[in-house]
Chain A
Amino acid sequence: MEPRNLLPSSLLDEFPILKQTINGRPLVYLDNAATVQKPLCVLDAVDHYYRTDNANVHRGVHTLSQRATDSFEAAREQLRMHLNAAHTHEILWTRGTTEGVNLVAHGFRTLLQPGDALVISTLEHHSNLVPWQMLAQATGAELRFIPLLDDGSLDQDAYASLLDRRVKLVAFNHISNALGTVNPVRDMTAQAHAVGAAVFVDGAQAVPHSTVDVQELDVDFYAFSGHKMYGPTGMGVLYGKTEWLERLPPFMGGGEMIDQVRLEGSTYAGLPFKFEAGTPHIAGAIGLAEASRWMHRVGLERIARHEDELLRYATAKLQSVDGIRFYGTAAHKAAVISFNLDGAHPYDVGMLLDQMGIAVRTGQHCTQPIMDRYGIPGTVRASLAAYTTVEDLDALVDGVQKAARMLL
């Protein structure tokens, strides 16, 4: 297959961090599912905010505070557009995907009782599993799990059979961080809605790689992290449909989230502020909005096609390595290649690749149940981003071949 970089290599000029050597070799960064690097425009936006506009938002009448508030709320509108949400107040700022899951799981404590059930996929990051376990424990609700097929896709027949009127919420990811599987979100959501269950989707791996339209998917909640979509760390988004956000109680109490405060009790602010106690991560929101604009300038569809092309190329080329075994071979997958060399521990492969300047992730990827399902201690995971090139993947294949010769 003829390798193609669908995005121009000039894109690399926007990521100064990538131009360094590690252990004497040019850095090949393939740990993008953990976090992606940030383009200059995002660094500049954060820097500019602190240099020129820094003030606390929403309360000040002075000009700086007005400017900070304008940028902060414009950032929310940018993310609304990014997701095609119906309303700007449906975009809640969080610290990341994990906080989004916890906010919803905490809120559902008031809505569940013994006899109710939650359906969770077994393809989840621990962050989209543990909060639901805590919710089940607190309320006496039953946990039901959607099993995994050998190719790393969810067993859709089993899913259908798990759904009944007792199910109040279904949680699964859009794209698996460990295996790259793309789940049929729209179809799974429609089935959940048919029994009256709410749908929570972990979109951490999907937002960086594809166009996400929450109205088209019809999900009730959609959470993701800014740092995986070219934005700053410590910043994330939880999208929620208005009717659900109105039903859920606040997650944290404090300033910014209140309407009237008396010693005996308080009334809460409206959406989205009811869920945003305390001074928010203003610079993070501004940086994330710039990341979103950057992705649109490059082109969401172009990023997706570029990564798909490279994924196919790298997968085909890695097949030439003796003893390689892939995990996650579903027909519909994105941006992640998870593999092992027969007879080698993933940690050994990762150590040798690091010596060659190649950054991959090894281990369980915070998905212990998936690794248990395959009976392995972990995998080596190479994950792609918009700036990934054919040359990066050639270096990966060379590196894996070298590691195989050394270890086997």
Chain B
Amino acid sequence: MSPIEQDIVDEFDLFDDWMAKYDHLIALGKDLPQMDPAHKTEDNLIRGCQSKVWLYAECPNGLLHFTADSDAIITRGMVALLLRVVQNRPAEEVAREPFAFLNAIGLTSHLSPTRANGLASMVKQIKFYALAYAANT
């Protein structure tokens, strides 16, 4: 696990009940930087079943930079966690990222493709961007 992921795990270890955990996730969601509205397009929309997620990536100087948004705050919190792990890293590294922290903080159950929140689709889309940029550099 990367140091950033370890930080996330330690952060979540501080909370002993689900409410505090979700409060934190909600706070992270509120703090996620606003996405440029110009990038909130139909093309950048990941269709989860229920909440909408927009994801956009650029790769200046060989490092990936993501911006994202969601209409649901808990989903925004999950996006914020994912982006913390992959932000400003080389594309080929991100393409191989296993996101081990999700299991450690008890969010793996949200990764199943049958869950309606689209977390699995977000991970897939992040890797898709990473692979595309890795192939171009």
Contacts and interface: CB of A to CB of B under 8 A. Distances in A.
Contact of B71 (A23, A345, A362): A345
B82 interface: no
Nearest to B75: A347
Contacts of A407: 26, 73
A242 B52 CA distance: 47
Contacts of A362: 50, 116
B51 A406 contact: no
A301 B23 CA distance: 44
Nearest to A343: B73
B18 A347 contact: no
Contacts of B117: 347, 351
Contacts of B51: 345, 347-348, 377
A23 B21 CA distance: 14
B54 to A, nearest CB: 14
A352 interface: yes
B14 interface: no
Nearest to A355: B18
Given A362-B50, A377-B50, A378-B50, A345 B22 contact: no
Interface string A373-393: 000011000000000000000
Interface string B48-70: 01111000000000000000000
Contact of B72 (A23, A347, A402): A347
B32 interface: no
Interface in B20-55: 22-23, 26, 49-52
Contact of A406 (B26, B50, B52, B71): B26
A347 B72 CA distance: 7
A363 interface: yes
Size category of the B interface is 10 to 19
Interface in B70-89: 71-75
A363 B115 CA distance: 13
Contact of A348 (B49, B74, B116): B74
Contacts of B26: 348, 406-407
A91 B51 CA distance: 41
Given A347-B50, A362-B50, A352 B116 contact: no
A406 B18 contact: no
Contacts of B71: 345, 377
Given A345-B51, A363-B116, A351 B74 contact: yes
A345 B73 contact: yes
B50 A346 contact: yes
A347 B50 CA distance: 7
A344 interface: yes
Nearest to A345: B72
A345 B49 CA distance: 13
A378 B72 CA distance: 11
Contacts of B135: none
The 5 closest A-B pairs by CB, nearest first: A345-B72, A347-B50, A347-B72, A363-B50, A347-B51
10 contacts: A345-B72, A347-B50, A347-B117, A348-B51, A348-B74, A351-B22, A351-B117, A363-B50, A363-B116, A406-B19
Interface of A: 23, 344-348, 351-352, 355, 362-364, 377-378, 402, 406-407
Given A347-B117, A348-B75, 13 more contacts: A23-B18, A345-B71, A347-B50, A347-B74, A348-B73, A351-B74, A355-B19, A377-B51, A378-B50, A402-B19, A406-B22, A406-B23, A406-B26
